[in-house]
Every structure is written in structure tokens, then in C-alpha cells.
Amino acid sequence: MLFLKRMAYRITHWFRGCHLWRRQRTITAAALILVVTFTVSMLLGLWRDRLLYATFYACCAPQLDVYNAAFKIPDFLFALLVTGSLSAAFIPIFSQFRTRSHRQAYALATSVTFLLAGLFLLAGSFIFIFARSLANIVAPGFSDSQLKLMVYFIHWMLLGQAFFLFSSLTTSILQARKRFLFPALAPIFYNLSIIIAIIGWSSRLGMLAPVLGVVVGAFLHWLIQVPALIKAGFYFAWPTQLWSKGISKIISLMIPRSLALALDEIAATLAIFLASGLPSGSLSLFYLSQHLYVIPVRLFGITLGQAIFPSFSQLIARRRRWAFRERFLKAFHLVFYLTSFVTVMMLVLRLPLVRLLFGSRQFPWAATVMTGRLLAYLAPAILAQAGIQILVRVFYSFQDTKTTFLAALWSLIINVAISVPGVYIFGWGIYAIVAAISLASVFQFGILFIILMVRLNHWQKEIRLNGTFFGRLLIVNLLAGLAAWGLMHFFDSFVFDTSRVFGLFLLTGLSFSGGLTTYLVLSWRLDLFSFFSPAWRRLLADKKLPF
């Protein structure tokens, strides 16, 4: 008994002093944690999708379409109420309150929790009651049996979104405190839950198995972060008044951001609306290509944006605008340096990549070809969305969410103007939808970038620096892509039997390695690394320019 007490004491002592609980004080440390954990989560997500499509695509393609479509209405509610307030409004205001008083900051967090929970309860009840009518609006091409199943899935997923609400609040508080590890671990548990549900329950429950996996995964997504929240010193500091200046400021920032996210969700819902009337399986392949194209966006754009956003907010709050400008440009160029190479490799190796990740007897070659084509159409959106993740956080740091809303509005208009005629008039099918997404994303990035350059009032210097960097980057990517393409065709024609998994794996790996080697060597020869080293600061030595 004494031995057990001593062991418990030692474990508790180690647990409290463990480096896992400490703050990540540098952007590099935070970004490294986010990239590593997201890579693990990404691999699990790919395994999850492979299991899902291998289990249900051949036998249950209509039900799989319903599963993918059922996410949209709960996701819309979550994005409108939660993501809009936390990503743009809560962290900057919470950081300001923490500079004054910890108690005021936690009282603000408590007030936001009650406010969002109340709004979620009202809106969730509305969706629960009118789920059938909403399903008819989102997917009018579905049959009556599909719509009934979609309503059933929506009811379950609303419970999962409730858990995500508390999880996202926890994540925002931890990230504001520069604790990134446990929020980054949460998606791993979410994906593991769905994988276990598909393997263990699909034979008995069918498509309900991954739905229940989503609910349990959402609960684990929140639960894994609770110990870190307690260790960070969080406590419920009851607000002395129901309404405060902090809440008012958060709502004023939340409304434009929520409307911008609503526009994004409308664009995603439009894709479901249009795809629901196409042949069975089209919507599922569209979602599969989307899951692939968002990998580099999340791996580099979102992770770097999340890591640098608290620093952006603090630098602006402390009026250190020169340091802010330097950090923004470095992050902006870094995200394009990393994302552009992955985009080119995904474009060149799209067919072997899709076959390697999702190819099975239940996933036919025609589906592989179509997914690869959809991924090619989405390639421009990868670069645009990765850059948008950095740009929008710059505007959030300035507590400006109206500009991002207007950019999202114009993006939606372009999306509708291309996708609707493309499907109903020109008959381009699912390709019109992905082309519209790409062109709208490129436009949104361009307008945000131009507005930011005008606001920073650095036109001449910024154009020169960005022109030099992106010109060299274009050359490096073109040559790296040609190297990977040549190796792929050589190995496919003369060396490997790509009808087998092992040969396909070697072809993809060696072609990617050849492209990566070319990319790194040319980057060194063209001095691209100087943009991410201390020598980079000399490029910004002219401090006479206004900020």
C-alpha cells in the first residue's frame, strides 16, 4: 500500500512538472507542435476515409452521400455561432483582458461560454425540429429514404457539435495562453474514434457506426483538453454583470466574421445542392477530393496561422508594428514556400496518390481517375486558401472582420456565377463545382492581399520583395514538378509494376523524393532560404517607411 502511494506521488509530481504542460513561448515551437500533431491526425484521417470508402462506397454509395451531406447543417450552425466568435473575436479581446487582470479575463470567458451555449441551444432546437425541411433545402436531389436517413444523422451530429462548442472554447483559451499541444492532440482522438467505430460497429450498425464515432470523437476532442485547461489556471470567475464592454466588443467583431463564415458555408451547401442531383457517388468523390486538397492548407496554412495569431494580437496590442510587419512577411512567404511544393507534387502524382490512399477492390479505377481530376481542378485553391489563412489573421489582429466578410461575399458571388450555369446550362457536372471553388478562392486571396498592401502603405517595397520571392519560387516549382513527372513516367514504363501496392508505393516515393531534392537544391541555388533567415531582416532595414 505504501509502495502504491509513493508511486502515485511520483507520477503526480512528474505529471505536474512535465514539459507537456508548459507554454510554447516561440512561434517555431508552436508551429512544430501543430505540424507534427496534424501530420499524425492527417494520416489517421486518410486511414479513416480509406476505411469509410472501402466499407461503404461499393455497396452503399447513396447512404455515403447522405453521411457526407448530413454534416453540412450542424457544421453551418457551429461555424456561425462558435467559429466566428472564437477565431476572430475571442482571442484578441481575451489577450487584452489578461494584460489587465486574470480574473477579468476568465470572467469574460465564462460569459462567452454561457452566451454561446444559450444561442447554440436555441438554434440547435430549431434545427432538430425542422431537420426534414432543412434537409430538403440542402439536398433536393435526394430520394425520400435518403432524406429520412439524413434527418436521423443530423439529430445525432447535433450532439457532437455541442461537445465541439465546449472544445473550441477550451482550445481558444489554451491558444491564447500559448499552450498548443493538447488542442493539437484533440483531432487525433476524434479520428481514432471514427476509425474504431467503422472497424468495430459497421457490420452491425451500417452507416450509423461512423455517425456514432463522430459523436464520441467530439466528446474526446473536448475531454483531452480539460486537464491542460485546469493546469493553465482556468477557473469559473462568475461575471458581476451579464453584459460588459468585452462581450459587446466580441459581438461587434463576431457578427461580420460569422456572416463571412456563413457565406463560406452557403458556398459549401451550394455544392451539395448541385451535386445531389448528379449521379450517385459524385458527392462522395467530391468530398474525397476536398479532403485531399485541404491537407496542405491545414498542414501549413492553418497551423502556421494558429501559431502566429496570438503573437500578431500581442504585437498589435503593444503597438510593436515594425515587429508585426516583419513577422507577417516571414510567415506569408514561408507558407507559400511550403504549400506550393506540396501542391505541385499532388498535381503531378495525383493518380498514384489516390490509388495508394484509397485504391481497393471496392473503389474502382473510374472513381480513382475522377478523384484525381477533381484534385487537379482544386490545385489553385490550395495555394489561395493557405495564403488566406495568414491574411485573415492579420485583419483579425487589427480587429477588422468587415473586410474579410466583404471578400467572402464577392467570393460567393463568383462561385455561384460559375457553378450554377456550369451544372445546369453547360453540363460540366461536378467539375463545374470544383472549378468555381478554385476561381472564387483565388479571387478572395487576391482582393485581401491588395487591400492589405494598400493599408500597410508599402506598395513599392512589398511589390519588389514579393516579386523577387514569387518569381524564384515559380521557377523552382516548375523544375521540381518536371523532375517528379519525368521520374514517375520512367518508373511506370520501365521499372515498377504499378498494378501492385508495393510497386505503386515505390514509384510515388521515389518520384516525390526526386522532386523534393530538386526543390531543395534549386532553393539553395536561388537563395530562397534567405527569406527565412536572419539575413531576411536586412531586406526590411528601411524603417522610414510608414506602417
Dump pLDDT digits (tens) for 290-330: 878 888 888 888 777 777 776 776 676 666 666 777 777 77
498: CB partners within 8 A, 6+ apart: 352, 492, 504, 507
Domain boundary among 456, 481, 506: 456
Domain boundary among 456, 473, 506: 456
Task: Report whether pLDDT(8) > 50.
Answer: no
Both 215 and 332 in one domain: the answer is yes
**338 vs 520: CA distance, rounded Å:** 11
* DSSP state at residue 363: B
**64 vs 62: CA distance, rounded Å:** 5
| CB-count exposure of residue 119 (10 Å: 0-12, 13-18, 19+) | middle
**51 vs 215: CA distance, rounded Å:** 18
When pLDDT is cut at 50, 70 and 90, the band that residue 242 belongs to is low
Task: Read off φ and ψ for residue 360, nearest 5 degrees.
Answer: -160, 175
Quick one: pLDDT at residue 63? Answer: 83
Both 354 and 221 in one domain: the answer is yes
pTM of the model: 0.70
- State mean pLDDT over 392-400: 80
**230 vs 220: CA distance, rounded Å:** 16
Domain boundary among 402, 429, 456: 456
Q: 107: how many CB neighbours lie within 10 A of its CB?
A: 20
Quick one: pLDDT at residue 359? Answer: 67
When pLDDT is cut at 50, 70 and 90, the band that residue 18 belongs to is very low
- State mean pLDDT over 502-513: 87
What residues make up the domain containing 515? 457-547
**372 vs 359: CA distance, rounded Å:** 12
Task: Read off φ and ψ for residue 542, nearest 5 degrees.
Answer: -80, 95
- State mean pLDDT over 45-49: 84
Of 91-100, 171-180, 442-451, give the lowest mean pLDDT range: 91-100
Task: Read off φ and ψ for residue 75, nearest 5 degrees.
Answer: -65, -35
Both 515 and 533 in one domain: the answer is yes
**321 vs 306: CA distance, rounded Å:** 19
Task: Report whether pLDDT(135) > 50.
Answer: yes
Both 527 and 381 in one domain: the answer is no
Task: Report whether pLDDT(544) > 90.
Answer: no
When pLDDT is cut at 50, 70 and 90, the band that residue 27 belongs to is low
**413 vs 418: CA distance, rounded Å:** 9
- State mean pLDDT over 231-235: 70
When pLDDT is cut at 50, 70 and 90, the band that residue 518 belongs to is very high
Both 518 and 450 in one domain: the answer is no
**363 DSSP β-pair partners:** 360
CA angle 403, 408, 411 (to 5 degrees): 130
When pLDDT is cut at 50, 70 and 90, the band that residue 28 belongs to is low
Question: Total structural domains in the chain?
Answer: 2
Task: Report whether pLDDT(439) > 90.
Answer: yes
> Cα dist. 366→61, 130, 372 in Å?
14, 38, 10
Q: 353: how many CB neighbours lie within 10 A of its CB?
A: 22
